Amino acid sequence: MLHKIDAEKVGPFGEPMAEAVRSCVHCGFCLAACPTYGELGQELDTPRGRIVLMKEVLEGGLEVEEALPHLDACLGCLACEPACPSGVEYRNLISPFRTLAEEKRSRPASEKLRRFMVLQSLPYPGRFRVAATMGKFAKPFANLLPKSMRAMMDLLPSSLPPKQELQERYEAKGERRAVVALLAGCAQQVLDPDINAATIEVLTRQGVEVLVPKAQGCCGALSWHVGDHRAAQAFARKNLDAFSEVDAIITNAAGCGSGMHEYPLILRGTDDEGRATEFAKKVVDVTVFLRGLGDLEEIPDSKKEVTIAYHDACHLSNGQGVRDEPRELLRRIPGVTVVELREAHLCCGSAGTYNVDQPGIAASLGAQKAQAVVATGATVVASGNIGCLTQLKMHLERLDSGVQVRHTVQVLRDAWDSR
């Protein structure tokens, strides 16, 4: 697409943003892949429409406030990227644009408060645990709260699992094959600490030593995707220091893994950009790492037939290109049949803080995804992201489906443990 963006004037993001606009040929192949086009049905809520809006704002021909309703409705699911024959890197546009827009936008007081609460609690496990516990008691009074705050309440589970302290080091079982470091995640540590326990068990039993650096923090993806660039940079730098000595950095939450792959963009134009590029090369999802190990311990035959539906977390499939590895690992379990969801490319509506920011669309997508799971007849649904797992659980419970919601590593750990 021809444009008149002055990349230098835009700042460090100018060049990748201008390149993404330039490479869009306006063909519209991405429209069918975009969940918000399906929900809202208008051109301005498609990837193509949003690219035009961002281009016009960057050129100075459109006020940012006019574009924002359509940009705010974007899930950041990146389903438009694999659908695009021109290779438009939409990720290089949406989060940088939100950062630039944040400097100019004004928000109502209730929205400011909600944003403050989310950004000051979710990235910090200790604070989030306190907030989730308090929110649980406030749930019965949710109807008295503004609509946007009610969405936050809906997401909180009725009970939290006990806190699990992580050691700094877990020895490999048997002969040591590799040493890795684990990103422990934020909300995940509070909502389902068993995912880290399962990850550590699966890795150590394959001969992998697992370090959990104490100095690590939030991956920064949450801040980055809502335009809080300063916080995203601070989190990124903290992790660059905390994980400096390891060969592979294991993530088990798609959003975190994808966010850490974006550190070079987050730190673009700073002294840390080179370090961030090297760092991002080491970040790998646990399923990809396991597949790359080669020989894995044989999984015992429990003599049970189980049908597992696999849900692609957007930031694993679209963000990191990881589709085959989790499916292949699940298929190694004797008696397991892995089935696909209809319209598997559609986001489940979780998408970071989207559930809170755009509760209507998020609920519609969540309900559709839960119905798609039920339609497969599977008794278990597996995925690789805490946000998706929480969303699926909530909507499957609403359908009273009885379908179990598990992280892929939990399924694998349980299968190995069934011996």
Query: Residues interacting with ligand SF4, by CB under 6 A?
Result: 24-30, 33-36, 47-48, 50, 74-80, 83-84, 86, 88, 90
- State whether the Cα torsion 281-285-286-287 is positive or negative: negative
Nearer to ligand SF4, 80 or 280 (CB): 80
**In terms of CB distance, is 36 or 223 closer to ligand SF4?**
36
Name the residue nearer to ligand SF4 (CB basis): 79 or 362: 79
CB of 204 to ligand SF4, least distance (A): 36
- 97 versus 279: smaller Cβ distance to ligand SF4: 97
In angstroms, the CA 227 to CA 353 distance is 12
- Start-to-end CA distance of the chain, whole Å, equals 58
Least distance (Å) from ligand SF4 to the CB of residue 362? 12
Q: Which is nearer to ligand SF4, 290 or 346 (CB)?
A: 346
Which C-beta is closer to ligand SF4: that of 80 or that of 374?
A: 80
Strands (E), 212-331: 249-251, 283-285, 306-310
175: its two tokens: 């002969």
What residues are paired with 308 via a beta bridge? Answer: 338, 380
CA neighbor of 285 nearest in space, from 251, 321, 329: 251
Q: Which is nearer to ligand SF4, 83 or 339 (CB)?
A: 83
CB of 85 to ligand SF4, least distance (A): 6
Least CB distance to ligand SF4 at residue 372 (A): 17
Give the strand order in the sheet containing 208-211: 169-170, 208-211, 178-182, 249-251, 283-285
- In this structure, what token pair is assigned to residue 410? 């939990």
Rounded least distance, CB 56 to ligand SF4, Å: 15
β-bridge partners, 406: 382
What is the rounded distance in angstroms from the CA atom of residue 353 to the CA atom of residue 118? 8
Cβ proximity to ligand SF4, 74 vs 370, nearer residue: 74
Q: How many residues in total does the chain contain?
A: 419
| Nearest distance from C-beta of residue 223 to ligand SF4, angstroms | 18
Smallest separation (angstroms) from ligand SF4 to the CB of 74? 3
Nearest approach in angstroms of CB 30 to ligand SF4 is 3
User: Which residues lie across from 179 on neighbouring strands?
Assistant: 209
What Cα–Cα distance (Å) separates residue 382 from each residue in 5, 42, 175? Answer: 43, 32, 30
Hey, what are 191's tokens?
């909502």
Order the strands of the 306-310 sheet from edge to edge.
336-340, 306-310, 380-383, 404-407
Q: Pick the closer one to ligand SF4 by CB: 29 or 170.
A: 29
CA dist 389 → 64, 89, 121, 371 (Å): 34, 27, 20, 15
d(CA 289, CA 304): 27
d(CA 335, CA 302): 8
Taking the complex as a whole, the smallest distance from the CB of residue 387 to ligand SF4 amounts, in Å, to 14
Rounded to a whole number of angstroms, the minimum distance from the CB of residue 79 to ligand SF4 is 4
Q: How far is the C-alpha of 120 from the C-alpha of 66, rounded, in Å?
A: 28
Q: In this complex, which beta carbon is closest to ligand SF4, that of residue 75 or of residue 415?
A: 75
